[in-house]
Structure 1
Amino acid sequence: MALRLLKITLVFLLVLLLAAVVWIGTIGKDLFRTATGSVSRSLCTSAFLARLDPQRTLTEEQLPLMRGIGWAIHYEVDRARREVRTSVFGDFSARAVYREGLGCLLVQGDGAVPEAAGFEPEPIASTWPANVIEPADPAIRHALDRAFAEPDPAHPRLTKAVVVLHDGQLIAERYAPSYGPDTPIWAHSISKSITSALIGILVHQGKLRLDQPAPIAAWRSPTDPHHAVTVDQLLRMDSGLPFDETDGALSPMTRMLYLEPDMAGYAAKMPLAHSPGTAWGYSNLSYLLLGRAIRDTTGGDAVDAARFARRELFGPLGMRDAVIETDATGTPIGASNVYASARDLARFGQLYLDDGVVDGQRILPEGWVNYSHSQTLDTGYGAGFWTNLVNHGRVPVWDAPWGMPQLPKDMYYARGAFGQYVVIVPSERLVVVRMGISLYYGDDTGDLVAAVIAALHRQAPARPSVAAILR
């Protein structure tokens, strides 16, 4: 009897082992490569661009997403070569290499690094003070205290930066330890709003039109269903491409960002889920294709695209620390991989508050700002920005609110994963930036902005009555 039980046990273990081998060779392989790619790129940027502690970044940003395999993650930072290599279970290695002016590039294997030298960007001047501006108003100080508080240690907020502009003036800011006014922070999907602005600049220069078919080489044939997709539809995410970001470890978004050297090429091959212009679906794919359009229109490689962004957007705004990473083909990862300081992003928000004009110079086309936060179909999304126009229903798949009902209806905002926000409130002449590594983040930014607005209203002098004026 014991021998028979042993045989059954051995057969069961053998079947389990074979199943594990098959899983690792198929789905598991892609999961592990996604994990090591994510860690390598994140820690590379932490070490060489933001100059933060890679181990702290791993602990706060990456390990909570590893779902049980964190103990098997191993990374090495090679400061001489400016690269990070990561493996899991000693295999599935991924390598990220830092390139000056271009950020970190995820490289497949030990192959050559495209544009390895990068370029030496011209310094961008800033008129803002080097020191941190503490709020003078106790109520605003209290609002910042709450933004950085950790009421639930089991679900940390990990706020890293808050910056407040009112009437174009920097009135308050605060940073977590090791962070400061010049620390580039991963903007995640705020990148989409910056990509939208770069497209706007190309429209302003007459190099693109919103109503033209998207200038994607793979879609040139009139018989291709994608040929009808316009630049406007890519910006609005109603191109017909599928909702590509889900809670699963593998999705079209993660596959594109961590497994594909030609990300826009992968996006261009994705079948349409709907006819263009008929349905909205959150689309990283669309913004990689817009990144390809920016690359192709500005010169055709990573350095040309980076110089265009610095010359036409970052430089005029004083965004000193902003970088857009690219894929191996030189395409800006316009969906997710902008790194910028909180001050940089506040300047970006101010550009929109000022209708696309900075220092008397029109950066964005006339009417572009209103276009950017005009409603797409029946959603709370515009064209690169989220709006506060819909306070019913939820974002599909995510089950998240469209807007922030505690704020004025004219508010609109750029938003990124882990609690990245650039909130623009025209009626209050207000821009609030909140950045963090917040896996467990709710409506805190709306509450922060509401508290700042309340404080500003208490500061404002009372207006005299009509009777008092006539006396």
Structure 2
Amino acid sequence: MFRRLAYTIAGLAVVVLAVLGSLLATGERGLSGRADHIRSPFGPRTVDTYRADAAEAERLGWSPGALDRVLDYVSRLSADTFIIMTDGEVVASLGDIEQPHSIHSARKAMLSAVVGQHVGEGPNEVPLDATLEELGVDDSPGSLTPLQRRATVLDLLHSKSGINHPAAAEGGLTAEKDERLGNTENEPGTIWAYNNWDYNALTTIFEQRTGLSVAQAFETGIAEPTGMEDYTLDSVSYSEAPDRSQHRAVMFKMSGRDLGRFGQLYLDQGVVGDAAVLPRSWINRITIDFAETGIGGLRAGHGFLWWLPDPETGLPEGSYFAWGLGQQSVFVIPAWNTVIVHQSDTTEFLKRWFDLQRQGVGGDTALEQILEGCLEKDALKTEFCREHRFTGRREFNRLISAVAAARHQRGP
């Protein structure tokens, strides 16, 4: 599938994305640790867990004993919600699945969904082949060049506009974007880069063309048909940075059970009951029309604002997931007829990270101090390190590896 290639909501969002930029630079890319013998220096937390009985778990294709090991490991992380759902049935869960949390950059999959519901050439529709110039889209401060305005809506969905322009809620993501795009013009559609400008401009285009806010579109088009219980219009807000760009970043808060319903919609090819909620062709494009990122591992590919894992991660070909800061994620795994949700409340972590920033500690250094500080013997049992520390990339990779092993194994 892949070649091996080398809150105050508006104000806090910028800080959030800065942390994400720091994490992208940490190099936590590979899987490490054996999935059948995962260890953590942290003890298990007292948190509600559920696992289907042995016969039911086996019927749904899971090893009961391996699922117990997964739940034990995730209880040692700072996860607030974790769900494995197969054939529409919950196989295992942890935490309060009704509590909404910020999903950070996983929000982009929600934006992709509402765009997919309104694609077309008619009034109140989003034309994929239209250029920014044809749509009257520019930016300020700093206008786009004529070449940049040749980028299309489809280029934005591919993360291939090639436009390196400051963006709202971007923070520390600029370094990787600069490395890929440079500071000159690029031919639209030729270079993939994780680019908040693309997603924010897509938000502007969607709202101008449809006359709907993203919140309204998601409520009537996704939340209501799928039976979401915790979503309201107040679940969506915007991060603005008018000194950088006129295009706003749309932000979501969602509960674990509603994220599960969102993933199930994709697993069911956009159909709820007898109603076609999301075009099947739109969903299929995720795994057909994607870019290889060169990152490898869980983020080996990127298609229509979803990430595609390399099969070496243990996840089967055809899998994809939405992902954000703190390992907020919803996995769609058609080969297993399974949805996986993982959430962490990053509020306390961000407060501590921001406090260090105000004291003059650099972003990367502050991140290292927090993460490494929690590995010191005296810190392992503190409330912050047990309940609120940041779940690192390697920890999350081990968790996904353990989930894959639980699916592949049989028996205790």
- TM-score tier (shorter): 0.5 to 0.7
Q: Which SS does the other structure have where 2:131 is aligned? A: coil
Change (3 A) 1:148 1:198: same
> How many residues get paired?
297
Q: Amino acid of the residue matched to residue 372 of structure 1?
A: I
Q: TM-score, normalised by structure 2?
A: 0.62
| 1:415 aligns with one of 315, 318, 323 | 323
User: Is residue 131–residue 153 contact of structure 2 (8 Å, CA) maintained in 1?
Assistant: yes
User: Displacement, 1:450?
Assistant: 4.1
C-alpha offsets along residues 93-134 of structure 1, whole Å, 9 cap, x if unaligned? Answer: xxxxxxxxxxxxxxxxxxxxxxxxxxxxxxxxxxxxxx9854
> Equivalent residues in 2 for 1:147-158 (5 A)?
147-149=74-76, 157-158=77-78
2:127 pairs with 1:209: yes
Residue 359 (structure 1) shift: 1.7
Kept in 2: contact 1:202–1:208 (CA 8 A): yes
Unaligned runs of 5+ in 1: 1-38, 46-57, 68-130, 150-156, 254-269, 392-403, 461-471
Q: Work out the CA distance in 1 between the residues paired with 2:11 and 2:166.
A: 25
Do the aligned residues in 1 keep the contact of 2:256 with 2:342 (CA within 8 Å)? yes
Match runs of 1:98-177 below 5 Å: 133-136=50-53, 137-149=64-76, 157-175=77-95
Q: Which of 161, 166, 176 is the aligned partner of 1:239?
A: 161
User: Deviation of residue 434 (structure 1)?
Assistant: 0.9
1:319 and 2:228 aligned: yes
CA contact (8 A) 2:66 2:409 kept: no
> Structure 1 CA distance, aligned partners of 2:87 and 2:313?
23
Question: Residue 307 of structure 2 corresponds to which residue in structure 1?
Answer: 386
Seen in structure 2, the aligned counterparts of structure 1 residues 141 and 135 have a Cα distance that, compared at 3 Å, is farther
**Residues in 1 aligned to 2:313 and 2:157: alpha-carbon distance in whole angstroms:** 24
TM-score between the two structures when normalised by the length of structure 1: 0.55
Q: Provide the rounded CA distance (Å) in 2 between the counterparts of 1:197 and 1:159.
A: 26
Contact 1:406/1:446, CA 8 A, preserved across alignment = no
- Say whether 1:296 aligns with 2:208: yes
Residues 446 and 360 of structure 1, relative CA distance in 2, 3 Å threshold: farther
* Distance 1:250-1:353 versus aligned 2 partners, 3 A rule: closer
Whether the 8 Å contact between 1:324 and 1:332 is mirrored in structure 2 is: no
Distance 1:272 1:352, change over 3 A: farther
Which residue in the other structure is 2:179 paired with? Answer: none
- Aligned 8 A contact 2:119 2:127 in 1: yes
Query: Partner of 2:189: helix, strand, or coil?
Result: coil
Q: CA deviation at 1:388?
A: 2.4
Q: Label 1:349 to 1:272 Cα distance change in 2 as closer, same or farther (>3 A).
A: farther
Moved over 6 A (4+): 42-45, 220-223, 328-332
Give the Å deviation of 1:326: 2.2
Name the SS for the 1:191 alignment partner: helix
User: In the alignment, what sits opposite 2:9?
Assistant: 41
Seen in structure 2, the aligned counterparts of structure 1 residues 209 and 443 have a Cα distance that, compared at 3 Å, is: farther
**Structure 1 residues 418 and 42: CA distance shift in structure 2, 3 A:** farther
> Larger radius of gyration, structure 1 or 2?
1
Q: Specify which structure has the bigger relative contact order, considering alpha-carbon pairs within 8 angstroms and separated by 6 or more residues.
A: 2
SS class of match (1:418): helix
User: Is the alpha carbon distance of 1:243 and 1:423 closer, same or farther for their aligned partners in structure 2, counting shifts above 3 Å?
Assistant: farther
Distance 1:222 1:458 in 2: 54
- Conserved 8 A contact 1:242-1:281: no
Matched, 1:365 2:275: no
Residue 174 of structure 1 deviates from its aligned partner by: 0.8
- The CA distance in 2 between the partners of 1:416 and 1:41, in whole Å, is 15
2:288 to 345, 361, 374: 374
Q: Residues 247-298 of structure 1, C-alpha deviation per residue, up to 9 Å, x if partnerless?
A: x966669xxxxxxxxxxxxxxxx98642101111111111111111222133
Aligned CA distance change for structure 1 residues 171 and 273 (closer, same or farther; 3 Å): farther
Q: Give distance in 2, aligned partners of 1:223 and 1:373.
A: 32
Give aligned-pair identity as a percent.
27
Once the two structures are superposed, the pairs formed by residues 327-406 of structure 1 within 5 Å of their partners are 327=239, 333-334=249-250, 337-379=251-293, 380-389=301-310, 405-406=313-314
Cα deviation for residue 242 of structure 1 reads 2.9
Structure 1 Cα separation of the partners of residues 165 and 399 of structure 2: 30
> Deviation per CA, 1:41-72, whole angstroms, max 9, x where unpaired?
38999xxxxxxxxxxxx9xx89x99x9xxxxx
Name 2:363's counterpart in structure 1: none
1:453 Cα offset (Å): 4.3
Partner Cα separation in structure 2 for residue 384 and residue 350 of structure 1:
17
Distance in structure 1 (CA, Å) of the matches to 2:164 and 2:398? 32
For residues 248 and 65 of structure 2, what CA distance do their matches in structure 1 show? 42
Q: CA deviation at 1:184?
A: 0.9
State the Cα distance separating 1:419 from its structure 2 match: 1.2
Picking from 181, 189, 196, the partner of 1:277 is 189
Q: C-alpha root-mean-square deviation of aligned residues, in Å?
A: 3.9
* 8 A contact 1:434–1:445 mirrored in 2: no
Q: Which runs of 5+ in 2 are unaligned?
A: 1-6, 23-47, 54-63, 176-181, 294-300, 347-388
Q: 1:229 aligns with which of 151, 171, 187?
A: 151
Q: Distance in 1 between matches of 2:206 and 2:120?
A: 13
- Alignment-derived partner of residue 29 in structure 2: none
Measure how far apart 1:307 and its partner are: 2.0
Shift of 1:340: 0.4
One-letter code of the match for 2:266?
Y
Partners of 2:247 and 2:318 lie apart in 1 by: 34
Amino acid at match of 2:343: M
Please tell me the residue identity of whatever aligns with 1:376: F
Q: 1:43 to 1:184 in 2, by over 3 A?
A: farther
Residues 451 and 209 from structure 1, CA distance in 2 versus in 1: closer, same or farther, beyond 3 angstroms?
Answer: same
**Residue among 442, 450, 457 paired with 2:393:** 442
